[in-house]
């Protein structure tokens, strides 16, 4: 029995040695696989970084950044192809976002809405002074200038060309230098004409001539014109 035990010992030692060697090999394979996986993903990351740098290099080679004041309601940075002038953003109305031009292709990240307002040239009406208004009255009425000045002053009070009087009992209003009533309006004499100094005065002269007197004006009928005679 003693000899048999001695012969088994080397066999057991041999098997234990093989098992230990196998475990070491498995450990080596596990560590090696981990290192290879890490190296793979590191290469992928480096590749992505290099690709991003390349794309950005192409983008900025073809486009330039334009900076503007962010105080106005629009994006403070926009991109235009190199070699083109910076667009005038003063006519931009509603800006919902930004778009980039890459070469001939447009990368629309969001929508940019613009409103091109056409310039309107507004000619202001000349301001008529009292002296100028009186000059026109005398030019139109001639020998009846003195009465015309008194009646118009009593009617208007200020000689304001577009002055609107209070509403009359019949729902109409009187307008302008001579406070001409709306019943005289037609296609040839409109509200805008009534608010024009010269046209108002010329219409008053027509009414005066057709009546042959100053009776169409209440300032004449109630005598309030007399205090303006000079």
pTM: 0.46
Of 68, 47, 197, nearest in space to 133 by CA: 197
180/194 Cα distance (integer angstroms): 7
What digits encode the pLDDT tens for the residues 80-97? 666 655 555 544 444 444
What digits encode the pLDDT tens for the residues 153-207? 999 888 888 899 888 899 999 999 999 999 999 999 999 999 999 999 999 999 9
The answer on pLDDT for 72 being more than 80 is no
What digits encode the pLDDT tens for the residues 7-40? 556 666 666 666 566 555 555 557 777 888 888 8
What residue spans define the domains of the chain? 2-108, 130-228
The total number of residues shown for the chain amounts to 230
In 97-167, alpha helices (H):
130-141, 145-156
pLDDT of residue 183: 93
Which whole number is the average pLDDT over 103-130? 50
pLDDT level of residue 107 (50, 70, 90 thresholds): very low
Beta strands in 90-151 (DSSP E): 99-102, 105-108
33/29 Cα distance (integer angstroms): 6
Record the tokens describing residue 125, joined without a space: 């009406």
The answer on pLDDT for 209 being more than 70 is yes
Cα–Cα–Cα angle for 38, 39, 44, rounded to 5 degrees = 95
Q: Which single residue is written with the structure tokens 């962010």?
A: 70
pLDDT level of residue 78 (50, 70, 90 thresholds): low
pLDDT of residue 158: 81
Which whole number is the average pLDDT over 122-151? 82
Fold of 130-228: Lysozyme (1.10.530)
- Compute and round to an integer the Cα radius of gyration of the chain: 48
């Amino acid at each position: 029995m003693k000899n048999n035990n001695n012969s088994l010992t080397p066999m057991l030692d041999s098997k234990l040695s093989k098992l230990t060697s196998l475990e070491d090999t498995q450990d080596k394979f596990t560590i090696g696989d981990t290192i290879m996986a890490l190296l793979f993903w590191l290469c992928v990351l480096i590749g992505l970084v290099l690709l991003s740098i390349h794309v950005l290099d192409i983008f900025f080679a073809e486009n330039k950044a334009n900076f503007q004041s962010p105080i106005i309601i629009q994006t403070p940075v926009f991109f235009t192809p190199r070699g083109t002038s910076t667009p005038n953003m003063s006519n931009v109305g509603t800006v919902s976002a930004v778009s980039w031009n890459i070469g001939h292709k447009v990368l629309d990240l969001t929508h940019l809405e613009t409103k091109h307002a056409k310039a309107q040239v507004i000619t202001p009406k000349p301001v008529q002074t009292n002296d100028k208004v009186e000059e026109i009255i005398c030019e139109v009425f001639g020998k009846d200038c003195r009465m015309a000045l008194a009646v118009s002053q009593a009617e208007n009070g200020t000689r304001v060309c577009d002055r609107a009087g209070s509403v009359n009992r019949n729902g109409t209003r009187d307008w302008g230098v001579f406070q001409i009533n709306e019943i005289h309006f037609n296609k040839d004499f409109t509200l805008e004409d009534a608010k024009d100094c010269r046209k108002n005065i010329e219409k008053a002269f027509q009414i005066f001539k057709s009546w042959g007197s100053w009776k169409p004006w209440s300032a004449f009928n109630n005598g309030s014109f007399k205090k303006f005679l000079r």
